[in-house]
Amino acid sequence: TVDSITSSLTSLGLEKPELEIPGSNPENNVVDIFRNYIVQELHKLTSIDVQVIYNALNTPATLDKGDLILPLPQLKLKGNPKEKAEEISQQFIKGKYIEEIKPQGVFLQFYFNQSTLLSLTINDTLANKTNFGSLPGIGQNKSIIVEFSSPNIAKPFHAGHLRSTIIGGFLSNLYEKAGYKVTRINYLGDWGKQFGILAVGFDRYGSEEQLTNDPINHLFEVYVKINKDITEEGDESPTNEAAKAYFRRMEDGDEEALKIWARFRKLSIDKYIDTYKRLNIIYDIYSGESQVSQESMKDAVKLFEEKGLVHVDRGAKLIDLTKFNKKLGKCLIEKSDGTSLYLTRDVGEAIKRYNNFKFDKMIYVVASQQDLHCQQFFEILKQMGFDWANKLEHVNFGMVLGMSTRKGTVVFLDNILQETKEKMHEVMKKNEAKYAQIEDPDKIADLVGISAVMIQDMQSKRINNYEFKWDRMTSFEGDTGPYLQYAHSRLSSVQRKSGIEESELLKADLSLLTEPSAVNLVRTIAQYPDIIKKALKTHEPSTVVTYLFNLTHIVSQCYDILWVAGQEKELALARLALYASAKQVLYNGMTLLGLTPVDRM
């Protein structure tokens, strides 16, 4: 990133507050410049530790309460906090950083100097472009693994996997912006008895032709049919026995048995790659339950045996985790026939990953139905003595409800994306003149449709269940994906229509931006790096989504007042610089979420 902030400060004749505060990123975050200035001055007045002051400065909920707000009791000063607030606000030196400081009860509200803020912020966005908001210092020399999506192969993707995919894609991008080396891993559900069932089913119902044309749907059909057979014939039936025997052969490494399975796996991955591409996701590694060595699982069993924590029940081995945490219960660690389990495979996989990557952090994006499962294998790793077990984090999420009404039990991702694309196409066609100007309407409809699906997923807190509603997903009204796309394309259009070159924008006279709505827009743009920081804490896409809606609402208020068309050149240029800056932030936020912003729609 260009250090545009320091050079802007120099050209304003300002000295950078020279403070080294962990967590503060004044090279990349304009707000931190102001924060550091406030910290420096308050430290002079109160002698309170700089880190304590820094941490106490918050972003208020609304701009009318200032750009930063400080609850004085957090500084633990002697005396009455209300009186202190009065006193400090009188002593505080105002000027080119802080224009106003207001005591409000026990709070101090700080208002940034508008012209300094305008100049630093707009120049920073225009100079750093897609890097605006990046905070590379945070994760410098650190690495992270993000495991997400992890569908069960030979089954179509459903809405639950969509959630993991979207959230995981976002978190990967987020950590990259924070300077981490990110490894994206897809841990496929590609092992277990169901692959014995599938092989037997393919023998009975499979078609080579359909397998090549539409592998996942075909395999799923086969899987449904053979499962029906097994249900009817019973667990003791030859069909079920054949399936079990087949998987047994797979676990024993029988080449013939593994051949068909490997084909199913490859065909599934090829198809997934297409879907992921549509969602702007590229994996570094396709791992899977099949890739876990039996060794580490055996190690785990042995270790618990030594600790006397293994119970044998009808040949199967269970370990007792209640000793460490009552809630974790007893869990199966080895089946009676010696085959592995989902849980043990996770233990083995985690060990392998640590040995390969020595990660500083590893995130599992997995549904909250698997909370207990994750707690169990995290605890097992901890008890095995791996000190890195505390670097694992489960990022969970709620369910998608109401999927059953339309198309059987689940709605598959491909169908969802197809349907939303068609709807978007219809909506776009309504404006004939505009539609005629779109180069590749099919592509745009697809991108806007995908935004609809993704935003409705990321709008509320991860842990909430949400109702799957076609209407809401394809709506242009209110806070939706298409609305963000519309806002972005409108900003592009303002720029196109002005006929002003992008290179001219850096020369704009920003002192012409005096209207309160222009200033509020800049204040909001300046918050973006803080939003990135906050999202790193919450691991919530909604932190960014909410911010982007707020931003686009303010932009739309600006259109009523801050015209570009028909204005004299200087004013048009200044306003365009403002809009270009807003567009850059919107673009950065949208791509962070995994969307592809469109320039026309």
Q: Please list the active-site residues.
A: 155, 158, 161
**Which residue is closest to ligand ARG by CB?**
189
Please, what is the minimum distance in Å from the beta carbon of residue 224 to ligand ARG? Answer: 17
String of contacts with ligand ARG for each residue 346-385, x by CB under 6 A: x-----------------x-x-------------------
Please, what is the minimum distance in Å from the beta carbon of residue 386 to ligand ARG? Answer: 16
Quick one: CA torsion of 400, 406, 410, 416, rounded to 10 degrees? -80
The nearer residue to ligand ARG, 251 or 349, going by C-beta atoms, is 349
Segment interacting with ligand ARG, rule: CB under 6 A, options 149-157, 504-512, 530-538, 551-559? 149-157
Please, what is the minimum distance in Å from the beta carbon of residue 388 to ligand ARG? Answer: 16
Segment 222 to 241, residues that bind ligand ARG, using CB under 6 A: none
Q: Is the dihedral of CA 427, 430, 434, 435 positive or negative?
A: positive
Please, what is the minimum distance in Å from the beta carbon of residue 249 to ligand ARG? Answer: 22
Which one of residues 121, 134, 150, 344 is an interface residue with ligand ARG (CB under 6 A)? 150
Rounded distance between C-alpha atoms, residue 96 and residue 117, angstroms: 9
**For 337, which DSSP code?**
T
Rounded distance between C-alpha atoms, residue 473 and residue 248, angstroms: 44
The nearer residue to ligand ARG, 153 or 585, going by C-beta atoms, is 153
Q: Does 107 bind ligand ARG (CB under 6 A)?
A: no
Please, what is the minimum distance in Å from the beta carbon of residue 152 to ligand ARG? Answer: 5
Please, what is the minimum distance in Å from the beta carbon of residue 150 to ligand ARG? Answer: 4
Q: Do residues 596 and 181 lie in contact, with contact meaning Cβ atoms separated by under 8 Å?
A: no
Q: Does 579 bind ligand ARG (CB under 6 A)?
A: no
**Residue whose pair of structure tokens reads 């841990």 in the numeric block:** 187
Please, what is the minimum distance in Å from the beta carbon of residue 361 to ligand ARG? Answer: 15
Residue of 586, 529, 506 whose CA lies nearest to 132? 529
Rounded distance between C-alpha atoms, residue 560 and residue 583, angstroms: 17
Q: In Å, what is the CA distance from 213 to each residue of 216, 217, 385?
A: 9, 9, 48
Cα 520 → chain centroid: 27
Pairing assessment for the beta strands 107-112 and 98-104 based on DSSP bridges: antiparallel
Find the angle CA(105)-CA(110)-CA(114) to the nearest 5 degrees. 145
Size of the site for ligand ARG (CB under 6 A): 9
The nearer residue to ligand ARG, 32 or 379, going by C-beta atoms, is 379
Please, what is the minimum distance in Å from the beta carbon of residue 172 to ligand ARG? Answer: 15
The nearer residue to ligand ARG, 192 or 481, going by C-beta atoms, is 192
The nearer residue to ligand ARG, 414 or 515, going by C-beta atoms, is 414
The nearer residue to ligand ARG, 128 or 194, going by C-beta atoms, is 194
**In 252-332, which ranges are continuous DSSP H helix?**
255-278, 294-306
- Note every long-range contact of 255-258, with CB atoms under 8 Å and residues 24 or more positions apart, other chains counting: 257/199
Q: DSSP string covering 12-29, please?
A: TT-PPP----TT--TTT-
Q: Does 189 bind ligand ARG (CB under 6 A)?
A: yes
What number of other Cβ atoms are within 10 A of residue 350's Cβ? 25
Q: Is the dihedral of CA 229, 230, 234, 237 positive or negative?
A: positive
Which one of residues 187, 195, 486, 528 is an interface residue with ligand ARG (CB under 6 A)? 187
Segment interacting with ligand ARG, rule: CB under 6 A, options 96-104, 147-155, 435-443, 523-531? 147-155
The nearer residue to ligand ARG, 125 or 150, going by C-beta atoms, is 150
Q: DSSP string covering 26-62, please?
A: TTT-HHHHHHHHHHHHHHHHH---HHHHHHH-B--SS
Please, what is the minimum distance in Å from the beta carbon of residue 232 to ligand ARG? Answer: 26
- Specify burial of residue 64 (Cβ count, 10 A radius: 0-12, 13-18, 19+): exposed
Residue type, 536: L
Please, what is the minimum distance in Å from the beta carbon of residue 161 to ligand ARG? Answer: 6
Rounded distance between C-alpha atoms, residue 578 and residue 573, angstroms: 9
Segment 581 to 600, residues that bind ligand ARG, using CB under 6 A: none
Which one of residues 4, 109, 152, 492 is an interface residue with ligand ARG (CB under 6 A)? 152
Strand partners, 68: 110
The nearer residue to ligand ARG, 152 or 268, going by C-beta atoms, is 152
Strand partners, 111: 100
The nearer residue to ligand ARG, 151 or 597, going by C-beta atoms, is 151
Pairing assessment for the beta strands 181-188 and 285-288 based on DSSP bridges: parallel
Q: Strands across the sheet with 181-188, in order?
A: 285-288, 181-188, 143-147, 361-365, 392-395
Count of alpha carbons within 13 angstroms of residue 519, beta-carbon side: 16
The nearer residue to ligand ARG, 134 or 152, going by C-beta atoms, is 152
Please, what is the minimum distance in Å from the beta carbon of residue 340 to ligand ARG? Answer: 13
Q: Do residues 16 and 6 lie in contact, with contact meaning Cβ atoms separated by under 8 Å?
A: yes
What number of other Cβ atoms are within 10 A of residue 255's Cβ? 8
Segment interacting with ligand ARG, rule: CB under 6 A, options 144-152, 354-362, 472-480, 520-528? 144-152
The nearer residue to ligand ARG, 423 or 462, going by C-beta atoms, is 462
Q: Which residues bind ligand ARG (CB under 6 A)?
A: 147, 150-152, 187, 189, 346, 364, 366
